[in-house]
Chain A
Amino acid sequence: MSDFNTETRTEGDIVIIKTSGYLNNVGGEQVSEVCYKEMDAGKKLFLLDLEDSKVVNSIGVSILIEIIEKLQDVDGRLGYYNLAPIVEKTFNIMGLTKYSTVFQSEEEALEGMS
């Protein structure tokens, strides 16, 4: 596994960002860039498909927290799905899941975010 990539698409008002690679400083910054660009365009609802990001570090988590804080300022929300158990555990421990939601599938996520 090397490099970090994102693929972005929208489902109605929801922006879905599929990541692949290590969600660290580099990966987190890429995700935040995409989010802030979409936020500037008026988007408030974001979903991260983390199926291909099996490892996350605390720097990646802190960047996600920043994104959540910025979204809170505009009454926006962030959600995730397809999390590896270790990633979900990290999100739980780092308190991320108090301010954002983990879904089990894209279908559930789209329903939960609308």
Chain B
Amino acid sequence: MHQGQTDQLEYYLSSLDELGEVLINADRARSVGSGILRLTLGTIMASKGAIFLYNNNENKLSFLSTKGVETEEPITPSKVLLSSFKKYKHDHALLVGDEKWITGRFKKYSTKLKTKAILPLYHKENLLGLLCVGEKFMGETYTKVDLKILEIIANHLTKALYNYQLIDDVEEKKTELNLKLLELETLFDISIAISSVLDVDELGEEVLWRSVGILNASKGLMLIQKESSPILEPGANFNWGGDMPLLSKKLATFKQIQETNKGVIFSSDTQSTIQKKLKEKNLILAPLKAKEKTQGYMMLCDKETRKGVQPFTDMDLDLLTALCNQAAVAMDNAKLFREITKEKQFNESILGSIATGVITLDTLGEIDSINTAGLNILKTDKEKVVGNHYMYLFEKDEEILELIMLSEAENETKSEQNISLRTVSEDTIINISVAPRIDPEGNKQGLVLAVEDISDVSKVKNTFKRYVSKQVVDELLDDDAKLNLGGEQREVTILFTDIRGFTSMSENMKPERVVTTLNEYFSDMIDIVFKNNGTLDKIIGDELMVLYGAPLSGSDDTNRAVQTAIEMQERIKQLNLERKKRKELPILVGAGINNGLVVSGNIGSRDMMDYTVIGDTVNVASRLCAAAGPGEILVSKTVYEEASATYSFSTLDPIRVKGKAKKVPVFLVKD
């Protein structure tokens, strides 16, 4: 081997050494391509060259690296060209001569490159690319060694490209997996949103945004279906811009989705009404359906890629359908929650505004709710009540505890009326009902207590029962309209009775005997008053004042007054027989009755107030009583005129009454 050959061999070896470094240091196909091309041209002493990458799917030869010529758009090789390359697939270089099968753009480019050697880069049966090298320096011919070196370089380049292709494939798969992971994460997030986001609008927006992002759509709109409306109401939108579309429920697209229960994809190949209406080519629609009920639709436009918009795919529709199914359930839940909340607020507003206290107990007997009226009646705070056992709340009220236990045991409504709520005070009088709480499935959910504070009613009863009969009290309480205690002019009949000579009689009696006598007398008299539905206005010493026609008017007020007086005198006769047996002096009573207009109402101070009547009619009745002898009942002319059809009277001489200029006609009730 002469010196020249030795030098060339060393040069080639150093080139191969550099090739190793290029392969080790390059981290991408592009950098390895540029490094190897530079090395190749330097080794062969050529100025122009190119490395092509072949894409089998697209049948394109694209430029990985060029030297001495500009890169161009990818070239589509002819079938003949590709099949001819196969002859050189096992590390063989083609020395370009006048090959007829090199045609088209590839030939043009080869000419520009002044290609002298082409090395198809085959990995097994797959063409990965081409290494094209131009003329050697000064037009020297390619030697066998040159070709061998080119074949070695091409072999390494093929391995490198194959490896990078593998890496690219892995990267691509990784990206695809990441996108799938993103889809799964989105579905997972929406499933979480089902239980966390309870606002329908917020949820709709969340789901739409996620769907647009995950499907690479350019924009999206949610269409809400309402039974009451023929159009689909635009809901959440993303990137939509401009006016919201007015879409009828009856559009063929929506009918088709309803019938097939499947979403639809529209592309430039289709010509649907909805595409025309929206002026959109690429659309994807899926129903929002929960519990067999379509709530609306999700509509996305234009699937984006780096090369522009594309039609959506069936896989996109599957994903959108899955998202919509999740979203529909979530939105249905949110809607249900909103309705329940609304209903709860409505119920609470009712419970809060009624006067009856409502307390609910759970199955363990713990209080789970109490309304405002309940808190007012119990004079307590919600915090002190809710969560506590009813036994704690009513610990001082055995009667209530027994009632609750009875209702619980017998699973029936139980009630008590007019009982003291000792937890609050002895004076707090309530009516209470305890009823089982049953859910729509018939399961027992606990108890509900209805508590009515009747302390005021009770006070009225207690107050009036001293003056009127129970029947009158009940009548008054049944109809508030009848009860006007504020002051009014009305016609009443007034009966006065007075024990004749009681003052002188009591002077000879022991004080306790005086009280016993009066109690016995008044007890009998008041019984008669109440029996005849009279109103006991007042007791002044031994005098009784009784009203008929106040506070309630009746058609027979005067007759009842006369009847009361007659019964009183009869009872006094019997009483005197008993007194005679006890060797006591008889009680002799005179009575006077008048009828006419009076002013009635609660009269007195804020602390001491009584229902009474005032006016001239009262004075005349009192004067008639004063004028009546023992056992006599004197009545005025108005009484006589009203009662004469029922009772017998004798006419007496008119009498002078204090405050009256003229004498007053007087009539005596006959036995």
Contacts and interface: CB of A to CB of B under 8 A. Distances in A.
Interface residues of A, number: 22
Contact of A94 (B182, B216, B217, B239): B182
B239 A2 contact: yes
B68 interface: no
A26 B174 CA distance: 25
A94 B171 CA distance: 11
B238 A55 contact: yes
A2 B216 contact: no
Interface string B158-190: 000000000000000011001101100100010
Interface string A18-55: 00011011100000000000000000000000000011
A40 to B, nearest CB: 21
B185 A25 contact: no
A56 B239 CA distance: 12
Contacts of A59: 216, 304-306
A2 B304 contact: no
B209 interface: yes
Contact of A62 (B181, B210, B241, B306): B306
Contacts of B306: 25, 59, 62-63
B647 interface: no
B240 A25 contact: no
* Most chain B Cβ neighbours within 10 Å, of A24, A63, A94: A24
A19 to B, nearest CB: 14
Interface stretch (A9-17, A75-83, A85-93, A101-109): A85-93
B304 A25 contact: yes
B218 interface: yes
B473 interface: no
A32 B35 CA distance: 28
Given A55-B209, A58-B216, A93 B238 contact: no
B202 to A, nearest CB: 13
* Most chain A Cβ neighbours within 10 Å, of B209, B213, B305: B213
Contacts of A26: 218
A35 B308 CA distance: 21
A3 interface: yes
A86 B212 contact: no
B655 to A, nearest CB: 101
Nearest to B186: A86
Contact of B189 (A3, A57, A86): A86
A21 B240 CA distance: 12
B241 A57 contact: no
A56 B214 CA distance: 8
Contact of B304 (A1, A21, A57, A90): A57
Contacts of B174: 95
A93 B216 contact: no
A91 to B, nearest CB: 10
A91 B240 CA distance: 24
Contacts of B238: 1, 22, 55
Contacts of B185: 89, 93
Contact of B182 (A24, A54, A90): A90
Contact of B240 (A2, A63, A89, A90): A2
Contact of A95 (B178, B189, B217, B218): B178
B212 A2 contact: no
A58 B179 contact: yes
A63 B216 CA distance: 13
Nearest to B182: A93
Contacts of A57: 212-217, 304
* Most chain A Cβ neighbours within 10 Å, of B178, B214, B215, B305: B178
Contacts of B209: 54-55, 86
Contacts of A95: 174, 178
B240 A55 contact: no
A21 B239 CA distance: 8
Nearest to A22: B239
A20 to B, nearest CB: 12
A72 B305 CA distance: 24
B241 A3 contact: yes
A106 B476 CA distance: 78
Nearest to A95: B178
Contacts of B181: 93
A93 to B, nearest CB: 5
Nearest to B215: A57
B179 to A, nearest CB: 6
A51 to B, nearest CB: 15
B241 A2 contact: yes
A63 B305 CA distance: 11
Contacts of A86: 189, 209-210, 213
B213 to A, nearest CB: 5
B178 A93 contact: yes
Contacts of B189: 86
Contacts of A62: 306
Contacts of B213: 55-57, 86, 90
A21 B210 CA distance: 14
Interface in B316-333: none
Nearest to B171: A95
A63 B306 CA distance: 9
Contacts of B175: 94
A56 B186 CA distance: 13
B179 A24 contact: no
A56 B240 CA distance: 15
Nearest to A29: B306
A3 B239 CA distance: 7
Nearest to B180: A93
A89 B185 CA distance: 9
B241 A24 contact: no
Contacts of A24: 216, 218, 304
A30 to B, nearest CB: 14
Contacts of A54: 209
Interface string B496-534: 000000000000000000000000000000000000000
A54 B240 CA distance: 15
A51 B331 CA distance: 27
A66 B94 CA distance: 38
A76 B523 CA distance: 111
A100 to B, nearest CB: 15
Closest 9 CB pairs between A and B? A2-B241, A25-B304, A57-B216, A55-B213, A59-B304, A57-B213, A55-B209, A93-B182, A2-B239
Given A86-B213, A94-B179, 10 more contacts: A21-B239, A22-B238, A24-B216, A25-B305, A57-B212, A57-B214, A57-B217, A59-B304, A86-B209, A90-B213
14 contacts: A25-B306, A26-B218, A56-B213, A57-B217, A58-B182, A59-B306, A62-B306, A86-B209, A89-B182, A93-B181, A93-B182, A94-B175, A94-B179, A95-B178
Interface of A: 1-3, 21-22, 24-26, 54-59, 62-63, 86, 89-90, 93-95
